C-alpha cells in the first residue's frame, strides 16, 4: 500500500491535491507551473521554492512570482516574498517560518497582465 506524502498540497477549483516535490500544476491554457521545495521534506524553519513556468513547452522568462504565506492555526503572518528571476522561466523564493506546522501559501504567478493565484499548503516539521 502506497502512502501519500501530505507535506505539499496544491488547491485548484476548491480541491486539494498532494503532489510530490517537483510536481506540476497544468492549467487549461497550456501554462505549466513546476514546484521544488528545498529542503524536502520541509524539516527546517526556512526553505526555498523553485518555480519553473512554461507555456506549451516554452520557458516564460518575462513573468514573475510572489508568495504570501501565513500559519493560520497560530495566527502568524501574513508574510510575503518576491521571487528572484534566475532565467529561463526559473524563479526562486526564500521563505522563513516562525514555527513548525502547516503553512498556507498563496503563490501569485504574473504573466503579462494575467494574474493566477495558486494556494499551496506546506507542512514543515522536524
Residue pLDDT, tens place only, 1-41: 444 678 888 888 888 888 889 999 998 889 999 999 999 98
Domains of the chain: 8-124 (2.60.40.3340)
Burial grade of 38 (CB within 10 A; 0-12, 13-18, 19 or more): middle
User: What average pLDDT does the structure give for the chain?
Assistant: 90
Tens digits of residue pLDDT in 38-54:
999 888 999 999 999 99
Alpha-carbon span 70 to 72, nearest angstrom = 6
Q: How many angstroms separate the CA atoms of 57 and 100, rounded?
A: 36
pTM (two decimals)? 0.88
Amino acid at each position: 500500500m502506497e502512502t501519500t506524502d501530505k507535506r505539499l498540497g496544491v488547491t485548484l477549483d476548491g480541491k486539494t491535491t498532494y503532489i510530490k516535490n517537483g510536481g506540476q500544476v497544468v492549467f487549461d491554457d497550456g501554462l505549466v507551473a513546476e514546484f521544488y521545495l528545498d529542503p524536502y521534506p520541509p524539516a527546517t524553519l526556512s526553505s526555498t521554492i523553485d518555480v519553473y513556468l512554461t507555456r506549451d513547452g516554452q520557458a516564460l522568462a518575462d513573468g514573475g512570482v510572489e508568495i504570501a504565506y501565513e500559519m493560520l492555526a497560530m495566527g502568524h503572518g501574513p508574510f510575503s516574498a518576491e521571487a528572484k528571476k534566475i532565467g529561463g522561466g526559473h524563479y526562486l523564493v526564500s521563505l522563513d517560518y516562525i514555527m513548525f506546522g502547516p503553512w498556507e501559501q498563496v503563490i501569485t504567478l504574473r504573466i503579462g497582465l494575467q494574474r493566477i493565484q495558486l494556494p499551496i499548503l506546506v507542512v514543515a516539521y522536524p
